[in-house]
Amino acid sequence: MANNGSLHPAAAPVDGSKFSPSAVQEQMSRILGSSEFNATDSQRAFLEYVVAKALAGKEDQIKGYAVATEVFGRREDFDQATDPVVSIQANKLRRALERYYLVAGRNDPLRIDIPKGTYVPTFQQRCTETETALPHDDHHARTCFEITWPSLAVQPLVNLTGNPELEHVGAAIASEIASEITCYQEIRVILQFPEKRKRRATDKGARFVLSGSINTDLSNLKASVILTDLSTGMQIWADTYRAALNPAHLMIFAEEVARTVAGKSCAEYGIIAKQLSVESKHTPPRQLTTYEAMLRYHEFNAQYTHQAFLDAMRALQQASKSEPDCGLVWSLMARLYAINYGTELFAVDTPIDEAVGFAQTGAKLDPGNQRTRGALSFALMLANEISAARVEADRALALNPDSLIFLDGIGYLLTLLGDWQRGPALIRKAIDINPYYNPIVHHALWLDMFRRLDYRQAYLETLNFKTPNLFWEHVMKAATLGHLGRIPEGCQVADGLLTRKPDFAQRGNFLIRHFIKFDEIVERMLVGLSRVGIDVEGN
């Protein structure tokens, strides 16, 4: 959308601030004219549209439907619940703005933002010692977020190369890390500008800080990153990354480092989650913060014990009452219900229609979040709505196709839904780079190998599954050993399966089909199980 004169200079300030519309227009020109503003034409039109509406005093017209139809050309029957185009583009626009203000607009007098949770822009005065917190919300949400959610300060990496031309690289890596973690939406990120380095991260209330340096090593550029827990002063993680010292590839290197660091530090089973999970282990459900309640789910998903299940259910139910607008809470409730429905682990009523309903609520509240879309895909798969599940998995991937944070989970879903090319490839990419991936994804890799009749490799995948309290490990091993002809070993595994799931012979056909949607693979599994002494009813 071209600037057609809707940004009229005027003397009146905007929203009670010191800035007139002419000042906002000047700032818009700076942003749009900068080569460091990495936004597409449609995202630029998005920004111009919302700023023009705000300056005209029409903030109430800045809605997802209006943006979709007037900026992105969607039809009048547009439904944001099924087409998250506005949320996706808003997230990308926020990242483009964040990068601009770090790299080129560091000293600009005015900051234009689109806070998370709204499309109405804000205009803020900037001073030389500004620190940028992500995401930017209203005062109440920001206060609640700061108190109850973990916080991470990201500092520009110190340039130790002696080459002033590489000064921007450390700042660029920090900016990419902050943007990548912001997409995860569970960690409050404070991006500290270089001039603020002398101040402590604790001055802004951050619990953790990411710092580091860049240096040269022969013909390579080396980036060292350190994660510190400021409550104890202890370094809890560090890593080093190298790349050829090629100026043309430095931004690519910064993006790769950011994805890896974000995945290792802030994923579901990453360093920060593990640290905080231990601390909140003995806190009663009613005293848990929303984030701590979500950690209860992650603890269950790692253990699959009855007590962990009950703790997670109580904590998430309480969180859904105390913070009902948090989409991730509903999504994790959906996953908890869906897992128990699909595995029948515990004698607790968790209907699949309720799981789907929770997941739909989560996706509606937070349509631009990969995890809410992934949770909806998972619930729909177990409800045998396969086409809809595939659509949601594709949407989850499209939100941030290069991110490592949920890459393993999306690969898992795509594989179970029959995308034998992309699914396993995404999982292997996540495994190669992120040591804190979810080991349950080996179930999907096993399925792919079993499908290919590569039983030897399929068996090797079962050895990495590492969820002994979930009977699926024994199902996979028993069926595979049956096809490998390793009958005595398979019979031992089968005995272990029946010990953990005594009614498997009666319920096995039903349970297997929850997670394997292809008749020929199911039939081959049942043959393998029969060879080691488990004859599943309904075969």
Which of 214-228, 229-243, 491-505 has maximum average pLDDT? 491-505
Token code pair at residue 439:
């080991």
Token code pair at residue 522:
């199911």
Please identify which residue in the block is written with the tokens 């903030």.
Answer: 59
Question: What's the pLDDT score for residue 446?
Answer: 98
Question: What's the pLDDT score for residue 131?
Answer: 40
Q: CA distances (Å), 31 to each of 20, 39, 160, in order? A: 17, 10, 31
Angle of CA points 396, 398, 401, to nearest 5°: 100
Listed range (57-71, 174-188, 312-326) with the worst mean pLDDT: 174-188
* pLDDT range class, residue 251, cuts 50, 70, 90: confident
**Residue 499 confidence (pLDDT) above 70:** yes
Length reported for the chain: 539
Mean pLDDT of 275-288: 74
To the nearest whole number, what is the mean pLDDT of the chain?
A: 84
Mean pLDDT of 47-56: 89
**Residue 38 confidence (pLDDT) above 70:** yes
**Residue 292 confidence (pLDDT) above 60:** yes
Q: CA distances (Å), 39 to each of 33, 98, 492, in order? A: 11, 11, 58
* E-assigned strand segments in 122-229: 122-125, 132-134, 151-154, 158-159, 188-191, 208-217, 220-229
Which of 102-116, 207-221, 392-406, 500-514 has maximum average pLDDT? 500-514
Listed range (199-213, 440-454, 525-539) with the worst mean pLDDT: 199-213
* pLDDT range class, residue 539, cuts 50, 70, 90: low
H/E stretch holding 359 reads: helix 352-365
Question: What's the pLDDT score for residue 478?
Answer: 97
Q: CA distances (Å), 224 to each of 39, 159, 178, 213, in order? A: 29, 11, 16, 5
Do 480 and 460 touch, CB atoms closer than 8 A? no
* pLDDT range class, residue 97, cuts 50, 70, 90: confident
What tens digit of pLDDT does each residue of 452-462 get? Answer: 999 999 999 99
Residue 488 Cα to chain centre, angstroms: 43
Strands 151-154 vs 208-217: parallel, antiparallel or unpaired: parallel
Task: Identify the three-state secondary structure at position 227.
Answer: strand
* pLDDT range class, residue 274, cuts 50, 70, 90: confident
Would you say the pTM of this structure is higher than 0.85? no
Mean pLDDT of 161-178: 86
Please identify which residue in the block is written with the tokens 């004219």.
Answer: 33
Cβ neighbors of 80 (< 8 A, separation 6 or more) are: 64, 65, 68, 86, 87, 367
What tens digit of pLDDT does each residue of 188-212 get? Answer: 888 776 554 444 444 456 889 999 9
Regarding predicted confidence, which is higher, 241 or 139? 241
**Residue 73 confidence (pLDDT) above 70:** yes
Question: What's the pLDDT score for residue 3?
Answer: 38
Q: CA distances (Å), 270 to each of 260, 290, 352, 457, 466, in order? A: 11, 18, 29, 28, 17
Which of 76-85, 175-184, 244-253, 289-298 has maximum average pLDDT? 289-298
Regarding predicted confidence, which is higher, 126 or 434? 434
**Closest alpha carbon to 443 in 415, 419, 417:** 415
Question: What's the pLDDT score for residue 285?
Answer: 67
Strand partners, 238: 226
Angle of CA points 24, 25, 27, to nearest 5°: 65
Q: Side-chain half-sphere of 404: how many Cα atoms within 13 Å? A: 26
What tens digit of pLDDT does each residue of 350-403 get? Answer: 999 999 999 999 999 888 888 899 999 999 999 999 999 999 999 999 887 877
Q: Where are the alpha helices (DSSP H) in 212-305?
A: 250-266, 271-279, 290-303
Determine the Cα–Cα distance for residues 324 and 240; give it in Å rounded to an integer. Answer: 40
What tens digit of pLDDT does each residue of 125-168 get? Answer: 654 433 444 333 333 333 334 446 788 899 999 999 888 888 88
**Residue 180 confidence (pLDDT) above 50:** yes
Question: What percent of the chain has pLDDT above 90?
Answer: 40
Which of 55-59, 158-162, 529-533 has maximum average pLDDT? 529-533
